[in-house]
Chain A
Amino acid sequence: MKFLPLILANLSRKKIRTILTIGSFAVALFLFAFLAAIKSAFNRGSEIAGADRLVINNRVSMILPLPLSYRDQIAHIPGVHAVTHYNWFGGTYKNPRNFFPQYPIDVENQPLVMPELKVPAEQWQAFARDRQGAIVGAATAKRFGWKVGDHIPIMNSSIDSKGPWEFNLDGIYHSDHVGGNETAFWFQWDYFEERVPQRVKGNVGWYVLKLEAPDDAVRVAKTIDNLFANSSFETKTETESAFAASMAKQFGNIEFLIITIGSVVFFTLLLVTGNTMAISVRERIGEIAVFKAIGFTDRSILFFILGEALALSIAGSTLGILCAAAAIPAMGAGLNGLLPRLVLSSSLMLMGMGFAIVVGIASGLLPALGAMRLRVVKALREV
């Protein structure tokens, strides 16, 4: 610790250079944290998907419907605990930019299939009794400042032109999972079915079922797909995590993109910081010689230079992570529900700090080795 003032004093030598270098680390770490949070949001569906849940879509395309009549047939398959269904509603609130996912749901089976999405019992009972009732995720409720008892009009001109769909907000759900999706808006299937045009009636978007035992997944999936094989609406049944992963892939190879951008950023940072450290060491060759003349060992000189690089990387990465932690929730809110909540987990922060520290040490290594090998007599001659 007694050498810390020396390291800090050296960093204060060229303040603008130090600030710019710290800024480089901060920007890189901010970008890393943001990209990592987006990647995590894309993957979260598969990470927190229930191992005991299957998703059933139309085999041709997930945007094509399945008959509601499949529900009872699926429910009777041995190993199926409960089955529910969803439709993509696609409405907006007040303004077309106020987008969030809305689904008509099967009130009876929803809690059995999605037990991790918690709604207080009295709110759920009120919802079940209210034909125009709705339950909304906590994030969306917070976004629009909704509270239980509010009347919420949702516009959807693609389904009908009868004006807004009116809902009564009966409850708010929370997810048991950290970062779980709390943006959805649920309403009663009966209300949906009653109002949609004839061409839409009797069709659901997809089914989700809960298994009695996760080990049964393959058998049940095969049974379902075989049951509806050669029908007008063949099914494709997969685990919820596989479904979530395939949804994420609809956006392209996000992981590859993020890793590529992150690698380029860190490599550039390595070059920039390495150059800065090299210049910084070259400027004080004479001082390093004096340190050695006084009795500082080659190794202690090596550690001083590495210590400076490390201090720069820690300061910059901490700043970047703090900025990211402050900005990411706001940036996530700006996505308007396009992605699940952006979460900067502590493991992501630690990983970012780790990368920055490795880059810091690597950038200081060559100049530090040069300083370590410096011959005092030669360096003093250059003072």
Chain B
Amino acid sequence: MVCVDESMIGNALICVRDLDKQYQRGGEEINVLQGLNLNVAQGEFVAFMGPSGSGKTTLLNLLGGLDLPSKGSITVAGDEVTHMSRRRLAAWRARHVGFIFQMYNLIPVLTAFQNVELPLLLTSFSKAERREHVEAALLLVGLSDRLGHYPRQLSGGQEQRVAIARAIVSDPTFLLCDEATGDLDRKNADEIMNLIERLVKEYGKTVLLVTHDPVVAARADVTLYLEKGALVGATAADMVAS
């Protein structure tokens, strides 16, 4: 289970220690994250909530190796991420992280198939193997009949499902979802959350999700609340109630 102290270090898939992140803005130093500690076990579904500017996305970027902390360490599956070179970090992301963005971020000139195939281009899979994996991923998200469709030919919900297929096709260690349902209506948001829940429950995926929506957060095993860069534990049920 998720914990914010050091009681679970041995079992943790993701282990964050004393994490600080500061930005310079107009000569002023802004502390986005301060002394953050976190352990996430394999197969957990964790939601992060908090007001704008509380550091949720920054935390996700640090966990995904898109940015480097000012201080502290992040260890994922035994790999110390914080001191990797940009090149090694890219390879590490390709192997361990699946990103799902709010705006889907599909490549508009590529078909659904080609979008999902992108992470596999970085592997040594043959063309036939890549096809097999892509078709399996698109089948899992219910879009096996949309292989040749371009993003502009898909609805928002379908685009996000393609993005999920792209995130899982290389079987990453964990998924990072940044407001994955933020641009969808309730019905589509529910469908996307069903899919993410399925990935956790049936496939044992570890998911870390940032959201402003308490209903979405309530689907997670645990919701953590961030405020002014500090982590505060809370349950989804509490959020909905409040």
* Residues of chain A at the chain B interface (Cβ within 8 Å): 2-3, 5-6, 9-10, 12-13, 286-287, 290-299, 376-377, 380, 383
Contact = CB atoms under 8 A, between A and B. Distances in A.
Interface in B32-74: 61, 64, 66-67
Given A2-B127, A13-B109, A380-B101, A295 B90 contact: yes
A298 B85 CA distance: 11
B66 A376 contact: yes
Given A295-B119, A377-B66, A377-B67, A290 B105 contact: yes
A294 B115 CA distance: 11
Interface of B: 61, 64, 66-67, 86-87, 90-95, 97, 99, 101, 103, 105, 107-110, 114, 118-119, 121-122, 127, 166
Given A290-B105, A295-B122, A9 B93 contact: no
B93 A3 contact: no
A296 B66 contact: no
Contacts of B114: 5-6, 9
B86 A293 contact: no
15 contacts: A2-B127, A6-B110, A6-B121, A9-B109, A9-B110, A287-B105, A292-B66, A294-B94, A295-B93, A295-B94, A295-B122, A296-B122, A298-B90, A376-B61, A377-B67
Contacts of B122: 294-296
A287 B107 contact: yes
Contacts of B61: 376-377
A10 B91 contact: no
A4 to B, nearest CB: 11
Contacts of A292: 66, 90
> Which of A9, A286, A293: most chain B Cβ within 10 A?
A293
Contacts of A294: 93-94, 99, 118-119, 122, 166
A30 to B, nearest CB: 29
Contacts of A6: 110, 114, 121
Nearest to A383: B103
Contact of A291 (B87, B103, B109, B118): B118
Decide if the interface of chain B is mainly helix, strand, loop or mixed.
helix
Pairs A-B, 7 closest by C-beta atoms = A295-B94, A9-B109, A297-B90, A295-B93, A290-B105, A376-B66, A377-B67
A374 to B, nearest CB: 11
Given A293-B99, A298-B87, 18 more contacts: A9-B107, A12-B109, A13-B109, A290-B101, A292-B90, A294-B93, A294-B94, A294-B99, A294-B166, A295-B93, A295-B119, A296-B90, A296-B122, A297-B86, A297-B91, A298-B86, A377-B61, A383-B105
A295 B91 contact: yes
B100 to A, nearest CB: 11
Contacts of A383: 101, 103, 105
A293 B109 contact: no
A294 B97 CA distance: 8
B118 A299 contact: no
Contacts of B166: 294
B88 to A, nearest CB: 9
Nearest to B98: A294
Contacts of B87: 297-299
Nearest to B64: A293
Nearest to B176: A293
B213 to A, nearest CB: 20
B105 A286 contact: yes
Contacts of A296: 90, 94, 122
Contacts of B91: 295, 297
A169 to B, nearest CB: 63
Nearest to B88: A297
B166 to A, nearest CB: 8
> Which of B64, B67, B107, B119: most chain A Cβ within 10 A?
B107
Contacts of B99: 290, 293-294
A179 to B, nearest CB: 46
A3 B110 contact: no
Contacts of A3: 121
B168 to A, nearest CB: 12
B195 to A, nearest CB: 19
A281 to B, nearest CB: 14
B179 to A, nearest CB: 12
A292 B97 CA distance: 12
A293 B93 contact: yes
A3 B127 CA distance: 12
A8 to B, nearest CB: 9
B182 to A, nearest CB: 13
Contacts of A5: 114
Nearest to B58: A377
A296 B89 CA distance: 10
Nearest to B120: A2
B206 to A, nearest CB: 18
